[in-house]
A and B are shown apart, each in its own frame.
Chain A
Amino acid sequence: MQFAFDSMLGLGLLACAAGVFWSRDLFRSVVMFIAFGLLLALTWVRLEAPDLALAEAAIGAGLTGVLLLDAIGHLRQHNEHSPRNHWLLPLLCCIALALLLILSFNARPEASISLPQLVAESLPESGVEHPITAVLLNFRSYDTLLEIAVLLVAAVVAMALNDGLAAAARTSTEQSNRDPVLAGFTSRLAPVILLVAIYVLWAGSYMPGGAFQGGAILAAGLVLLKLADFHIERYAESLLRLGLAFGFLVFLAVATSVMIGGRPFLTYPEAFAGQFILFIEAVLTFSIGLILFSLFNQSPGQEVPHDN
């Protein structure tokens, strides 16, 4: 039965992808893509990667789908012009690529060191019990530091592209028609979302969860508030802007401050590693949530696009 489940899941992924690629109506593509995200979350579960399933579920349901629906809502027409005529050569090349990839899977050399074993051996020194959190925030924290930097750059570029436009859009929707049912539902759901985000962050030290998943859930909550016409960013704009860079700056400050004690960059004193990691993760969750939200909030074209 497991086998049947896996086969159907895999074929379902392919069917969804085919739907995304070959539907002429772009709205249909977007909905297919949302379905694809959910199937992918199930796939991560089957690959025994619940962390990835958590992140995929939060991002797929709360962010990517919303961003795409928002974008397509501003297109005048959803149908695509006819695609290019020459297709035979690309098709053959792509089939060859797939075959080559699958064949190469069998031919790859055995790794000389076993990474899972290494991680398991040094897990007690990391200050957390969950191996993935240990990898992200202790063994490979360079990656995480640079990742938050990348996110920050993305948010800054979004702001630069949109300076002034968002403000104009905001005043234009001043007298928005807030739906009473949606507003009531959102104001009750928002605290639950915040609670779940904190729980996921806290759980990250001993079971699947952590800063990325928590941040994604937080961002989805903010997006929901925004969609239900709670203009949170109007009340605390400067605070929000500060929050964007907060995660990166605090992470960097912690990483360099250990050098005063004579340790290499980004290594925590063993006795306090757990507290250090939890602190950094809390700040990261906050920052990631704000950055992802501002990437949604900064989208241009809230008003009707040009008329020329």
Chain B
Amino acid sequence: MTTDFWFACIGAVLIAMALFTFIRHTHLLRRILAFNIMGSGVFLILVGLAQHQRQTDPVPQALVLTGIVVAVAATALALIIFRRFYQLSGRTELDEDQQ
């Protein structure tokens, strides 16, 4: 078990945990958090798996670097939309999620 492979496995578990939270919880802020961690899991798999059994690989690293910056922009936008939604409706969950 190399370092790269170990962290790729951690990434897989993170994705599964985040997906579970995403399905189970309806609070939008928690969903944004879960989505972020899911993204981190994907990044870990991308870099870890590509470097497994080989030397460091600049191509997935560059891809993930773009991914990290896009992810923070997406998070910021999601938070802005969430806060506007909260401001207008006073709710933190979507309509179809209310029981």
Direct contact of A and B (CB under 8 A): yes
| Pairs A–B under 8 Å by Cβ, sample size 29 | A13-B14, A14-B17, A21-B33, A30-B33, A36-B40, A47-B3, A47-B4, A49-B61, A59-B72, A64-B72, A84-B24, A84-B25, A98-B15, A105-B5, A105-B49, A114-B54, A115-B58, A119-B59, A132-B62, A135-B61, A143-B66, A154-B73, A157-B77, A161-B84, A210-B65, A212-B69, A288-B69, A301-B86, A305-B90
Chain A neighbourhood of B52, CB < 8 A: 105
In the complex, the answer to whether B7 meets A47 with C-beta atoms within 8 Å is yes
Name B61's closest neighbour in chain A (CB-CB). Answer: A49
Chain A neighbourhood of B69, CB < 8 A: 55, 59, 147, 151, 212, 215-216, 288
Q: Interface range on chain B: under 10, 10 to 19, 20 to 34, or 35 or more? A: 35 or more
Given A47-B51, A90-B23, are A116 and B84 neighbors across the interface (CB < 8 Å)?
no
Q: Does A184 contact B (CB under 8 A)?
A: no
Give 1 or 0 for each of A5-17: 1 = CB within 8 Å of chain B CB: 0110010011001
Name B82's closest neighbour in chain A (CB-CB). Answer: A71
Given A52-B47, A144-B66, are A105 and B59 neighbors across the interface (CB < 8 Å)?
no
Task: List residues of chain A with CB under 8 Å of any chain B CB.
Answer: 2, 6-7, 10, 13-14, 17-18, 20-22, 26, 29-30, 33, 36, 40, 43-44, 46-49, 51-52, 55-56, 59, 63-64, 67-68, 71-72, 74-75, 80-81, 83-84, 87, 90-91, 94-95, 97-98, 101-102, 105, 108, 114-116, 119, 131-132, 134-136, 140, 143-144, 147, 150-151, 154-155, 157-158, 161-162, 210, 212, 215-216, 288, 291-292, 295-296, 298-301, 305-306, 308
In the complex, the answer to whether B79 meets A68 with C-beta atoms within 8 Å is yes
Given A17-B18, A51-B61, A91-B20, are A6 and B3 neighbors across the interface (CB < 8 Å)?
yes
A-B interface, 4 closest residue pairs, ranked by CB to CB distance from nearest: A98-B16, A295-B76, A101-B12, A131-B58
Chain A neighbourhood of B29, CB < 8 A: 26, 29, 68, 71-72, 75
Contact of B80 among A7, A40, A75, A300 (CB under 8 A): A300
Chain A neighbourhood of B82, CB < 8 A: 71
Task: List residues of chain B with CB under 8 Å of any chain A CB.
Answer: 3-10, 12-21, 23-27, 29-30, 33-34, 36-37, 40, 43-45, 47-49, 51-52, 54-59, 61-66, 68-70, 72-77, 79-84, 86-88, 90, 92-93, 99
Q: A80-B25, A154-B74 are in contact. List 5 more A-B contacts (CB 8 A).
A: A10-B6, A47-B3, A59-B68, A108-B49, A140-B62
Give the shortest distance, in Å, between A234 (CB) and chain B (any CB): 20
In the complex, the answer to whether B17 meets A17 with C-beta atoms within 8 Å is yes
Chain B neighbourhood of A131, CB < 8 A: 58
In the complex, the answer to whether B30 meets A29 with C-beta atoms within 8 Å is yes
